[in-house]
Copies of this chain bind each other. A is one copy, B any other.
Amino acid sequence: MTLPLTPVITAFERSPDRGRGLARDMRVRWALEEVGQPYEVRLVSFWAMKEPAHRALHPFGQIPTYEEGALALFESGAIVFHIAERHAGLLPDDAHARARAIAWIFAALNTVEPPILDLQTTKFLEGDKTWYEQRLPIVKDRIRDRLGELSARLGSADWLDGAFSAGDLMMVAVLLRLKASGLLDEYPNILAYVARGEARPAYKRAFDAQLAVFAGKPPTG
C-alpha cells in the first residue's frame, strides 16, 4: 500500500492582482476544494518563475503547476481536468454530459478568455501608447460579442449544462477577470451566474487561502 500523496501547486509569491483571486492558481485551488482534496502550496517569485528549475515544471514560466508524486503538470485547464477526472463532483457520470462539460472547459479557455485577457494585456503593454484609448472600444466589443452569446445560451439556467461542473468552474473563473471592468453588469444573467460561483463554499475557501498569501506578504510595489 502506498501512502496518499498530497498534491503541491505553485502560486505567485506576490500576486499582481493583490489577492483578488484572479491568478490562475485560484482555479486549481477551487477545484481541489470542490472535491475535498487537501493540497500544499509552494510560492514562487517572478524571478524564480523564469528560472530553469521552474521552467522544468512549466515550459512557459508561469503558475500554476501541479505535482503529485512523479506526475508534474502545467496549464490550469489540464490540472483542473486531472482533478475532475480523479475525484467525484466536477464531471457528470453520464458520458455525453461529461463530454459536454469538458467542452465548456475548452470554451472558457479558448473562446471566452482570449478576448478578456486582451483587455489586461493591452493595458499592460500598450497603456502608454497614443492609440490605447481609441483601441479600447474594439477590445471591449469583442468581449461583448462573447458575453452576448454566452448570455443567450445560459438563459435563466443556474449552470451551463445541468448541474455545476468543472466547465462552470472554469467559465466563472475566466469571467471574474471582468469584474472590475463593469462589462459583466451589461448581462444580468451572467452577473448572477458568476455570483452563484462565488457563493459556493469551495470557492470561498479557495479565495480565502489565496488572499491569506497576499495579506501575509504586502507588495512593495
Contact = CB atoms under 8 A, between A and B. Distances in A.
Interface stretch (A15-23, A35-43, A71-79): A71-79
Given A61-B149, A109-B109, A103 B78 contact: yes
Interface size class of A (residues with CB under 8 A): 35 or more
A74 B79 CA distance: 21
A60 B146 contact: yes
A126 interface: yes
A122 B74 CA distance: 29
Contact of A109 (B95, B110, B121): B110
A111 interface: yes
A103 B138 contact: no
A78 B113 CA distance: 16
A82 interface: yes
Nearest to A113: B110
Given A99-B78, A152-B59, A106 B107 contact: no
A198 interface: no
Interface string A99-140: 110110111011101100110010001100111001100100
Nearest to A138: B125
A70 B82 contact: no
A125 B115 CA distance: 13
Interface centre among A99, A142, A150, by most chain B C-beta atoms within 10 angstroms, is A99
Given A71-B96, A78-B99, 14 more contacts: A60-B150, A70-B96, A72-B100, A73-B100, A73-B103, A75-B106, A75-B110, A76-B110, A77-B106, A78-B102, A78-B105, A78-B106, A114-B118, A121-B142
Chain A to chain B: the 6 pairs with minimum beta-carbon distance, closest first: A131-B131, A78-B103, A77-B106, A59-B153, A75-B106, A114-B114
Interface of A: 55, 59-62, 70-79, 81-82, 95-96, 99-100, 102-103, 105-107, 109-111, 113-114, 117-118, 121, 125-126, 129-131, 134-135, 138, 142, 146, 149-150, 152-153
